[in-house]
Every structure is written in structure tokens, then in C-alpha cells.
Amino acid sequence: MKYSNEVEAALKAKRPVVALESTILSHGLPRPRNLEVAIEVEQIVRDNGATPATIAMIHGEICVGLKTDQLDQIANDTSVIKASTRDLAILAATKKSAATTVAATAHVAVKAGISVFATGGLGGVHMGDGFDESADLHSLSMTPIIIVCAGVKSILNVSATLERLETLSVPVLGYKTNRFPGFFLTDSGYNLEYRVDSLKEISDIWYQRKNVHTIESAIVIANPVMNQLDPVLHDKLLTKGIQAAEKQKISGKDVTPFLLEYFHRVSEGRTLDINIEIIKANSKLAAEIAKALK
């Protein structure tokens, strides 16, 4: 792995560091807003006392912390692909450039010694027969990291995703909420068993895991968006978006970016604004958590 000077210095000095995924940059937000948001999010992390470490693969090399030109490449190079953990060795061998998913970012972050990770929404179980499931879930079951998110993307099967997280022994903590957030929605309609209301509670749980020997998995901090999409509009967009994906025979890992783009376009940018609000709020909270852990 190759570290940016900023990240390397922070890790050596044992200062707080927050991992950031790059798939949001390459596939989650439209150009040119994607690069602007990436720069803004990194600054939010700095302003809240931590060092940002955006993770990606550049010409086959894993990079922990990106320079400005590397951020620009991930944001604007259309040949940049979306890479999960299984893809890393293949892309390293073929010298390809890729943006890392939640699974791949969490994997790299832990290997780099980073304990906190901010993203938008987790992947999960897709609608349908139940066999289409994001690698994020299995990855979180064996990756000891705190991941701050706005729940799972509301285009997924939320109930099935929560069941899978329980089966995989991944604890989910609602931050100042008893309800599981649904990305664009503050409330997905499902209760959470555990709630935390302070950074100290999160820190205490993180360190108590060592005492009870449950340090193998991630901890999910579910941070609900403040200004949600109108639920009626959301359900309409989801129904129409799924129909459009089926009509165009979109499947697998292409479904999520297709539906997100559909939401952004048909809502005339409203969901884009919410998506940006989510990643900014989660990055701020992640920086505060990273600082509290230190």
C-alpha cells in the first residue's frame, strides 16, 4: 500500500484518521459535483480533528490517502471501475485503476491501521429472490472497524439486510435514534435493538469488545439523515426505477449506480442533495468518533 504524506504522518503520530470510500466519487455522484464533494468531505474531516484517508487503487497500487490529481482521476476517468475485495489482487496484477466499495475500503483501512470509516449507505440484500447480496455484509462480519452510515440504501431489501447483519453477528447501533435509517429516509420502518447517544458510549463499546473477545466484526453506526426525501415520492421513484432497470436488463453491481442516477435525475436533484448531506454528516461524525477513540 502507498500512503499519502498526510496520512502517513497521522498514522505514525497515532493521530485520528478516517477512511473514506471512493466509489461514491466515481459512481455515486455526477460530474463535476463528485470531485467538489470529495474535496469538501476531506476538509470536513480535517475541521473536526481527524485526517481523511480516501482509499482507491491507482494503476494497480492501493493508495491510502489521495493527492489532488488522484482524486481528479478517480472522479473523471471513465475507465475507473468499481472494485470489491475480491477484485483487488486481479487489479493489482493488471495495473488497473479502481474505486473501492465499502467492503474493499474497510478491508484496506483495517490493514492500514485505521479504525473508523465513513460512507453514505451500506450495500445489502437486493429485492427479489434473495440471492443477490452485496459483499459489504460478509466483509463487515470479519473486518474490525467502526463504519458510520445512513443505514442501507433504501433501494434494497432492508428487512432481509438487517436479518443478515444479525446472522453475521455485526452489531448495529442507532446514533440518537431507535429506528434504522433508510438512506434517503430518516426511518426505514424497522426498529433497532441498540441506541447510542454519545461518542463516549461508542468508544466504550469499541474497547469492551476486546474484553469479551468479539473483535472480529465491524460496528455499524446508523446515523439518520436530517432532511429526508418525501416518503411518497421515494416509493414512487423506487417502483419506477426498478421497472426501468428490469426493462434495460440492468443487473448485479450495476443496479445500485443505475437506480441512484435514476433517483437523482427524476427527482430533479433532490436525492442528489440528500446524498451529499448524508456523506458530509457521516464524515463529520466519523471524525468525532475517531478523535474520541484516541
Give the residue numbers annotated as catalytic, written as ranges: 21, 153
Going by C-alpha positions, the residue among 115, 111, 189 that lies closest to residue 152 is 189
Q: Is the peptide bond before 32 cis (omega within 30 degrees of 0)?
A: yes
Determine contact, residues 259/245, Cβ cutoff 8 Å: yes
> For the residues of the chain, what is the DSSP string, one character each?
-EE-HHHHHHHHTT--EEEE-SHIIIIIS-TTHHHHHHHHHHHHHHHTT-EEEEEEEETTEEEES--HHHHHHHHH-TTPEEE-GGGHHHHHHHT--EEE-HHHHHHHHHHTT--EEE-S-B--BPSSSS--B-HHHHHHTT---EEEESBB-TTS-HHHHHHHHHHTT--EEEES-SEEEETTEEEEEEE-SEEE-SHHHHHHHHHHHHHHT--SS-EEEE---SSPPPHHHHHHHHHHHHHHHHHTT--GGGHHHHHHHHHHHHTTTHHHHHHHHHHHHHHHHHHHHHHHH-
Determine contact, residues 196/221, Cβ cutoff 8 Å: yes
How far apart are alpha carbons 270 and 276 in whole angstroms? 10
